Amino acid sequence: MSCGDATTPCHEVLGELWLYLDHECDEKRREVLQRHLDECGRCLEHFGIEEHLKELLARKCGNEQASADFKERLRASIRETVLAQAEVTVEPAAGGARTVEVTLTNQRVDEEA
């Protein structure tokens, strides 16, 4: 799906909505995302839903803080889901604790962690 700002595909904008909402992207990227949202009705609609969800969560959770254990389990679950959807496996490589082996579909990429 692509519309609005042709230089920024919709899937990229939709993938970064929470970074935008949480002010966790740099100002330059924020401007790119805002420009796309200004020009793309479909992405703006998704943004509105996510913004509403964020407000609802804040209101219903009463600013409670999640435990460090819960946050780590959530991160691990998200990481596992993203890797599965991308059809990527990540395994410790032989010979080093800080090296991981990433296998893409029919490709293999070694990178430092």
Q: Where are the beta strands (DSSP E) in the chain?
A: 89-92, 99-104, 107-112
pLDDT digit string (tens) for 27-82? 999 999 999 999 999 999 988 988 888 888 888 877 677 888 998 998 888 888 87
Nearest Cα neighbor of 17 from 5, 29, 1, 2 is: 29
Q: What are the sequence ranges of the domains in the chain?
A: 10-61, 68-112
CA 13 to CA 19: how far, in whole Å?
10
